[in-house]
Amino acid sequence: MSNIQPSSEPLPAGWLPPAFNQGWTYCDRPGPGLARGTSVASYYASRYGHSDRAVWLGRIAAGEVHCNGHRLLADGPLAAGDRLAWHRPPWQEAAVPDLPGPLFDDGDLHVIDKPSGLPVLPAGGWLEHSVLRLLERRHRGDSAGLPRPVHRLGRFTSGLLVCARQPHTRAWLSARLRESTAQGPSQAAPLLGESCRKLYRALVVPGLLALQPGESRLIEVPIGRRAHPQLGQLWCAADGSAPGDRSAPGDRSARSTLTLLERGRQADLVQVAIASGRPHQIRIHCAAIGAPLLGDPLYAPGGQVSPGALPGDGGYHLQAWRLELDLPGGRRLDLEAPQALALAKDASVGSGKPLVHHDWPPIPIAVRED
C-alpha cells in the first residue's frame, strides 16, 4: 500500500508526484570548543535551531540518535570529538517539476534548462527529488557515464545548469565557473572575461533602481555568514551596513554588474553578470542596493535576512539565461535558455501577472572551434 498522501488538485503536466524517500543520516562531531557538561540534546538544539531540546529528546527516545556507533537510549553528556549520527526516518518529499532533456550533450558536457522548483543537489528536505538523483536514475548503466552538476542553482532559480560526465571535465569547467577567492574585489577578474561569461535575468521590485533602461551598475558588496535563529548561520550582505555588523574572516568578496533592461508597472526586468559564484549572490546584491527580487521572502532591502524566512522559500523570479564558456580542447560554447524571462507586455495594474517566459525560438547552439 502506498504511503503517499493523495492530493486534492491534479499536478501540472511534467511534474513528479510526492514520494517518500529512504531517510538520511546526518553526522556531526563536536569540536574542542564544546562547553563542558553539554548534553546531546542540548548540542543538537543549539546547532540546529529548527528543533528545540524537547524535539531532540523525543528523537533520542525513539532510537534515532547514535553516539560513537552506539544507539542512545537516553540523553547524556557529550564530549569533544564524539561522533554523532542522527538517522532521520523516511519523509515525504513534495511534488517537483521533472527534469527535462538536455539542451546540449556531446557525450561528456551535458547542459540542462533546469525548471524553477527543482533542487540541484540532495539537501535539507530534498533527496530523491533533485537533479542529481534524477540524473542517476536516467543515466544508470550508460556506457558514457553519469553527468553530474558542475555548479549549483538555487531551487527556485531556473535556467542553464552545466553538468559533465568526466571528472577532469568537471574540474576544468568548475575552475571557469568560479572566481578565485585569493583576490580582493579590486583585483578580481573582469566581469566579461574571455573564458566564461554568465548572464542572469531577474524581476526586481519596480521603481527602486536609479537607472535608466540600458544603464548598468557595478555591485561589490561582500557576502558572509551571519547568525540566523533557525539555521544557526545564513549568507547575507557583509558590508557592515547592518547595525552591529562587523567583517568576519569568512566574508567573501563578490562582484556583479546589474543592467536595467525594462521598467514595468509591477516589476522591473534586469540582467546581472556575475564574476563570482557566492551563495545567493544575485538575490543578496539586488537587495543590498535597495531593489530586492520581486517576491523574495528572504532578503530585504540592504541584503539582510528577513526574520522567519528560509533559503528554500520561493516566490522570486531568477533565471540563468545565457552562458558563454570555454571548453576543453579549445572549443567555445554559446548557449541561451529557450524561454527568456521577461515582463508581460499585456500586464495591467492589479493583474497579478508581472512576467512571462517568452517562447522565443531556441537559439542555435554555437560550438566554435578556435
Summarised one tens digit per residue, pLDDT across range 36-54 is 999 999 999 998 878 999 9
Q: Distance between CA 196 and CA 193 in Å, rounded?
A: 6
CA distances from 282 to 71, 83, 210 (A): 43, 37, 18
- As beta bridge partners, residue 318 has 157, 202
pLDDT digit string (tens) for the chain, length 370 residues: 334 455 567 888 889 999 999 999 999 999 999 999 999 999 999 988 789 999 999 999 999 999 999 999 999 999 999 999 999 999 999 999 999 999 999 999 999 999 999 999 998 789 999 999 999 999 998 988 999 999 999 999 999 999 999 999 898 888 877 653 333 444 444 444 457 888 999 999 999 999 999 999 999 999 998 887 777 788 899 988 877 777 788 889 999 999 999 999 999 999 999 887 788 999 999 999 999 999 999 999 999 888 778 777 889 999 999 998 887 778 888 999 999 999 987 543 334 455 554 433 333 334 443 3
* DSSP per-residue string spanning 17-56: PPEE---EEEEE---TTPPTT-BHHHHHHHH-TTS-HHHH
Quick one: which of 23, 16, 340, 326 has its CA closest to 196?
326
User: Which amino acid appears at position 186 of this protein?
Assistant: S
Strands 223-228 and 157-164: what pairing?
Answer: unpaired
Segment 269-289, tens digit of pLDDT: 999 998 877 889 999 999 999
